[in-house]
């Protein structure tokens, strides 16, 4: 899919990034002191209120609360109705609490006629300034471990090789994890992190990996690769962390993320992360 200007322009493209809404089929359900349905509805309202309509809204996994139930997605769609009815372009990835079949049943427009990778929810957004690769790290519903799989990694490598001169931003739900978990603990990040990281470093056009899963807002680097951890729309595990979403301005020189915390008094509200190329 292509978004952005039809004619060459230096005007930036506005995007909205959401992650980890964790919507339950029951809109009254709360977790960690947060009503997830209320949070997503507030974020949708804020997206609708932007001065510049986003060219795309990207929801980076864990759309459903725990087990990807049909009722979860029914409520999720209801929360998104203002965006859907206004014709807003939506892009989504799969998290470990999602279930592809139930997701497609509720959001039929998200199911491609010809999947880029068999049995995976993968998409490619091409813009005048960068290509965005939306990957599927769901291994098994309600299992914390992430997995890309060899077929998806092969497709990604080939798709990047076919587009060597355009900056690339890779997006998936799970965190990277190079260190094995402690005894008795599950592998919480992407199982093939070492291979995935090597692939990203080998393709010089890959500028950033954008992810969720940890319910944290942060920005680090691994050599020249930017690692942008999106905040959770839903609850946080660390009470010092903000929940919310991010706007992004994508232009010829890079992409700038800005935190939109739900608590406008949070010290990190409107904090900016720059990924330049």
With respect to residue 1, please indicate whether it lies within any of the assigned structural domains: no
SS (H, E, C) 166-209: CCEEEECCCCCCCCCCCCCCCCCCECCHHHHHHHHHHCCCEEEE
Beta bridge pairs of residue 218: 229
Q: What is the pLDDT of residues 112-127, one digit of tens each?
A: 999 999 999 999 999 9
pLDDT value of position 6: 56
With respect to residue 4, please indicate whether it lies within any of the assigned structural domains: no
pLDDT value of position 74: 98
Residue 22 has what DSSP assignment?
Answer: -
Number of domains in the chain: 1
pLDDT value of position 1: 83
CB distance 211 to 60 below 8 Å: yes
pLDDT value of position 4: 73
With respect to residue 3, please indicate whether it lies within any of the assigned structural domains: no
User: What is the number of other CB atoms lying within 10 angstroms of the CB of residue 234?
Assistant: 24
CB distance 242 to 261 below 8 Å: yes
With respect to residue 269, please indicate whether it lies within any of the assigned structural domains: yes
**Weakly modelled stretches of the chain, pLDDT under 70:** 5-8
With respect to residue 22, please indicate whether it lies within any of the assigned structural domains: yes
> What token pair was written down for 183?
């005894």
**Degrees to nearest 5, angle at CA 170 with 168 and 176:** 135
CB distance 208 to 220 below 8 Å: no
With respect to residue 48, please indicate whether it lies within any of the assigned structural domains: yes
With respect to residue 5, please indicate whether it lies within any of the assigned structural domains: no
pTM passes above 0.75: yes
Q: Which residue in the block uniquely carries the two structure tokens 């290509």?
A: 131
Query: For the chain, how big is the Rg over CA atoms in Å?
Result: 17
| CATH code of the domain in which 270 resides | 3.60.21.10
Exposed/middle/buried for residue 249 (C-beta within 10 Å: 0-12, 13-18, 19+) = middle
With respect to residue 2, please indicate whether it lies within any of the assigned structural domains: no
Q: What is the pLDDT of residues 70-116, one digit of tens each?
A: 999 999 999 999 999 999 999 999 999 999 999 999 999 999 999 99
- Domain carrying residue 219: 13-276
């Amino acid at each position: 899919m292509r978004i952005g200007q039809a004619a060459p322009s230096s005007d930036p493209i506005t995007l909205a990034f959401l992650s980890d809404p964790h919507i339950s089929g029951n809109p009254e359900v709360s977790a960690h002191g947060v009503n997830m349905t209320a949070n997503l509805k507030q974020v949708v309202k804020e997206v609708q209120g932007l001065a510049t309509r986003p060219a795309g809204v990207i929801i980076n996994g864990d759309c459903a609360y725990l087990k990807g139930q049909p009722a979860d997605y029914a409520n999720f769609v209801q929360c998104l109705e203002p965006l859907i009815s206004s014709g807003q372009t939506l892009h989504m990835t799969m998290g470990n609490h999602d279930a592809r079949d139930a997701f497609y049943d509720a959001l039929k427009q998200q199911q491609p006629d010809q999947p880029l990778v068999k049995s995976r929810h993968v998409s490619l957004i091409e813009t005048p300034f960068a290509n965005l690769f939306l990957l599927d790290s769901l291994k098994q519903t309600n299992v914390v471990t992430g997995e890309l799989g060899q077929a998806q990694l092969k497709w990604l490598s080939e798709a990047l090789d076919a587009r060597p001169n355009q900056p690339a931003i890779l997006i998936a739900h799970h965190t990277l994890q190079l260190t094995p978990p402690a005894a008795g603990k599950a592998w919480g990040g992407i199982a093939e992190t070492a291979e995935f990281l090597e692939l990203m470093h080998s393709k010089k056009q890959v500028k950033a990996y954008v992810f969720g899963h940890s319910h944290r807002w942060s920005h680090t680097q691994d050599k020249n690769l930017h690692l942008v951890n999106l905040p959770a729309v839903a609850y946080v595990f660390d009470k010092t962390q903000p929940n919310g979403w991010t706007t992004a301005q994508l232009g010829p020189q890079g992409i700038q993320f800005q935190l939109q915390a739900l608590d406008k008094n949070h010290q990190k509200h409107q904090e900016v992360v720059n990924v330049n190329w």
